[in-house]
A and B are shown apart, each in its own frame.
Chain A
Amino acid sequence: MGKKCPKENVNIQKGSKTNHRNAPLSIAIRAVDLTKYYGKLRAVDHISFEVKRGEIFGFLGPNGAGKSTTIRMLTGILKPDGGEIYLSGINLKDDLIEARRVMGIVPETCNVYVDLSVWENLMLMGKLYGVPKTKRKVRARELLERFSLHQRKDEKARKLSKGLKQRLILAMCLIHNPDILFLDEPTSGLDVQSSRLIRGIIKELKQKGVTVFLTTHNIEEANLMCDRIAIINKGKLAAIDTPQRLKGVIQGSQSVEVAFDRSKPDELRWLKDIPCVSRVEKLGNKFRLYTDDPDKVICEIVKYRELKSQRLTLLNTLGPSLEDVFLELIREEAE
């Protein structure tokens, strides 16, 4: 009942053409051809992806890319204009209420009830998710402890700082031990301490087998936390992969930075002549050499140093940043 066999479809992700009967076990979230219009604006444009059970999956994109729209469709707040959503193999259209019971949701613009106490906020969510009374209380105490909120338990939520409120919001969505967590920009605009705590907790949840779907416009956050990242721009998916592999997408974008104690007139030409250096930039008194073989470049620099009896004041290798990938992909989109 309610478990229709998902249709065959083309998915950009690798390894998606597995046996669909097994899919529900290992696939927590499956979106097929999701599309949403706001009037004429196509906010989300035929996107498809799969999130594996126990994975932290990041949706990365600039403001207005369609991240929140996607998350709102996945959580059943918005009805898609096209496409299908399966959560643990169950079509969202068939049983939204049942699906919601195993979801934890933190919407983008979201607040606690400021007129209720910290404890009452937790209890309200526990009741709405049908957590039995004793379990609810035990769980609430655990969460308060973990989020360092236990001392504020009886205070009105109005009195909490923004960071503490965000912690409470996260605690509230965990009261029913959800299997799948949806977080829309969970650390945006927070103090360092709260962001760090929240990131730590998200990683702990992963250890316990919880699937996390989060959106962010913070590249570093995506890099630090996510097992896989989907990059979305103007409603379209530009790429889905691990942070490492995404970085590998851009060829020759590794670089070596070098600076010498004394300047020699021909050094720039000499550096440019090193084989496998594609480009040299002069940044103040240091040079940045772009290459796909940093090792070879360093050997050449050392040779040059001995030849000219120069001293090195700086030698540094830089990998491509996720930011480079991101900007690259978004630029490709625009072209």
Chain B
Amino acid sequence: MKATSHFKNIAWNLRCSLIIAEKDAKIYYLKPPVLIFGLLFPLFLFLAFVLGREISFRMLVPGLLTMSLFFTSSSIGPIIYPWERNARTYERLISTPISLPFLLLGDALAGFCYGVFISLVPLILGVVLFKAAIIHPLVLTLAMILASFCFAFLGILLSSPVTETPSQIMMLSAMVRFPLIFISGVFLPLDKMPVWGKIIAPLSPLTYAADLIRYSFQGQSYYSLVLDFSLLGLFSLIFLISAIAFHAQSLKRGI
């Protein structure tokens, strides 16, 4: 009896997560500027770094896809809570019958969907226009899903500091996310990075996503697939658990 009620509880909460994701989509994601930004920003940033280098466009597709996944999945998450606090919807939201982990999961789910759908655009363009061949479609699919969740959880974690000013969190989020793209082998494959790069790259979850996506297109990875997937999973867990802990902590202090 205990087990069935536990199961019911989880089913209820998951249902609520979906409703939260739907709310986030309506309020934050499905706005024309947000969608356009999600499409163009990774592209421009990427072009800014690679133009003038002697690489074929086809070789660039994995990097562009990684960038796109990273920037979209983690972009809106950070501002959700400052925004809800500022708009005075926060307390009402946390007083509904949903437990905190599932509330945050719902927010991450919205980031995940946004990331995956927007990233399908560079993926399709890469395959159709630049004839990039996907050698390992299964790995690519799993990597995109796991990576997108991981980055969405990072976004939710960045949303934890208590503030009513979304711009402050935007700053924090930029300070955390931009450096990551330089140390994670997105532009340059890891084996071509300098020694210092190889040493700090393992600290970034983006490294493993980039490695897996490059493998899906080019058949070669720097780390083993098992290591890449495990570490992406580990980072996801760490981000989610610390996000829950931070949010729970501020709830306890009544802020």
Q: Which A residues are closer than 8 A to B by beta carbons? A: 1, 36, 38, 69, 72, 75-79, 96-98, 100-101, 105-116, 120, 124-125, 127-130, 169, 172
Contact = CB atoms under 8 A, between A and B. Distances in A.
Nearest to B98: A128
A124 B92 CA distance: 12
Given A97-B9, A124-B19, A112 B89 contact: yes
23 contacts: A38-B253, A69-B254, A72-B254, A75-B95, A78-B254, A97-B13, A97-B99, A107-B92, A107-B95, A110-B89, A110-B91, A111-B87, A111-B89, A112-B89, A115-B26, A124-B23, A128-B16, A128-B19, A128-B97, A129-B96, A130-B15, A130-B97, A172-B92
A125 B23 CA distance: 10
Contacts of A115: 26-27
Closest 5 CB pairs of A and B: A111-B88, A100-B97, A107-B91, A105-B95, A128-B96
A332 B97 CA distance: 41
Given A75-B95, A116-B26, 19 more contacts: A1-B1, A36-B254, A38-B253, A72-B254, A77-B91, A77-B95, A78-B251, A100-B95, A100-B97, A111-B87, A113-B87, A116-B27, A120-B26, A124-B19, A124-B23, A127-B19, A128-B96, A129-B96, A130-B15
Nearest to A78: B254
B117 interface: no
B94 interface: yes
A101 B92 contact: no
Contact of B27 (A100, A113, A129): A113
A106 B95 CA distance: 9
A108 B27 CA distance: 23
Nearest to A129: B97
Most B C-beta atoms less than 10 A away, residue of A69, A107, A129: A107
Nearest to B102: A97
B252 interface: yes
Contacts of B37: none
Interface of B: 1-2, 5, 9, 12-13, 15-16, 19, 23, 26-27, 87-89, 91-92, 94-99, 251-254
Contacts of B88: 109-111
A150 to B, nearest CB: 22
B12 A130 contact: yes
A140 B96 CA distance: 18
Contacts of A116: 26-27
Main secondary structure of the interface of B (DSSP, over half): helix
B146 to A, nearest CB: 28
Nearest to B92: A110
A115 B27 CA distance: 6
A129 B98 CA distance: 9
Contacts of B96: 100, 125, 128-129
B98 A105 contact: no
B252 A79 contact: yes
A105 B16 CA distance: 17
B254 to A, nearest CB: 5
Contacts of B19: 124, 127-128
A98 B9 CA distance: 9
B254 A109 contact: no
B108 to A, nearest CB: 17
B87 A114 contact: yes
Contacts of A169: 92
Contacts of A101: 97
A69 B92 CA distance: 15
A163 B211 CA distance: 55
B92 A97 contact: no
Contacts of A111: 87-89, 92
Contacts of B251: 77-79
Nearest to B5: A1
A38 B5 CA distance: 35
Contacts of B87: 111, 113-114
A72 B253 CA distance: 12
A127 B251 CA distance: 24
Contacts of B5: 1
A105 to B, nearest CB: 4
A125 B92 CA distance: 10
Contacts of A114: 87
A110 B95 CA distance: 11
A36 B9 CA distance: 29
A75 B254 CA distance: 13
A326 B211 CA distance: 70
Contacts of A76: 95
A120 B91 CA distance: 19
Nearest to B85: A109
A130 B13 CA distance: 10
A79 to B, nearest CB: 6
Nearest to A172: B92
Contacts of B98: 97, 128
A129 B251 CA distance: 21
Contacts of A113: 23, 27, 87, 89
